[in-house]
Amino acid sequence: MSDNYWWGLGPVEGAPATWGARAIDDGETFGLLGDRQSFDGEKEHREALRTVLNDMGVLKLAQEEFCRLKDSLKIRGDQDNLVTLYEDWFVKVEGNTNASHGYFYVRAYIKPGGYTVKRVPEWDPEGMPEGTAVWSCDELPEVGEVIYSQTCWAAEDGLLTVLGYAVAADHLHVVCSVNNPVGQWGKQQADSIERDGKVAWVNVMGREWRRPDGAVRSITDGEE
């Protein structure tokens, strides 16, 4: 990885982390060189993005999509054409040959937030300003933090690592990786990838987590 020169498509404004690479079309997919990659963002967010790409399989899915788009001539070495290689509610991967006749410029990023977190007990459809995300807890775990969730069946011991945040239906979700997954979780991941071509994310809401060494106080009941 080079910190002095940006390789690949440029960083995305507002994204917690962006990875870029100048890859090579090796005839099979896009191949990566260790000294032709760059990262942007704070350390915890960069580490989260590495986990997403390598451990959770997003990079492999992006490379498979590259092959499909190349076979359908939507990716060509003599044409400048930005394509989406992978996208879900949390991350996006894009690429472009930039008409370079051999190189493929790629980037992956955790999507920018663009919302304000509002710590309230319940969602109020009449009183929620646009761009507000409800979080029903006094505290918000940080990226890279290990948390415990009693509701996550995928984790053998309930332990998760925070990768970032996403919003759905006006609620903030903490997106996590599973530290010690049960066997069934691997099957669900495989089924999700085969069925939808997407990673199955674990996400935790405000009342569904605590720190491993103690409880988190709820807004609604005020208990420790």
**What pLDDT, on the 0 to 100 scale, is given for residue 127?**
62
pLDDT of 222 higher than 60: no
Query: Phi, psi at residue 43, to the nearest 5°?
Result: -55, -45
Report the alpha-carbon distance of residue 64 to residue 55 in Å, rounded: 16
pLDDT of 177 higher than 60: yes
Neighbour tally for 122: CB within 10 Å: 8
pLDDT of 75 higher than 50: yes
Question: Global pTM?
Answer: 0.86
Q: Is CATH 3.30.1370.10 what the domain over 17-110 is classified as, yes or no?
A: no
Residue ranges of the chain assigned to CATH 3.30.450.20: 17-110
176 within 8 A of 164, measured Cβ to Cβ: no
Provide the token pair at 133. Answer: 């995300």
Report the alpha-carbon distance of residue 207 to residue 199 in Å, rounded: 24
Mean pLDDT of the chain: 87
Nearest to 105 by CA among 220, 24, 209: 24
**What pLDDT, on the 0 to 100 scale, is given for residue 88?**
93
**What pLDDT, on the 0 to 100 scale, is given for residue 216?**
52
**What pLDDT, on the 0 to 100 scale, is given for residue 121?**
59
Strand positions, DSSP E, 26-170: 30-31, 37-41, 83-87, 91-96, 103-110, 116-118, 132-134, 146-148, 159-168
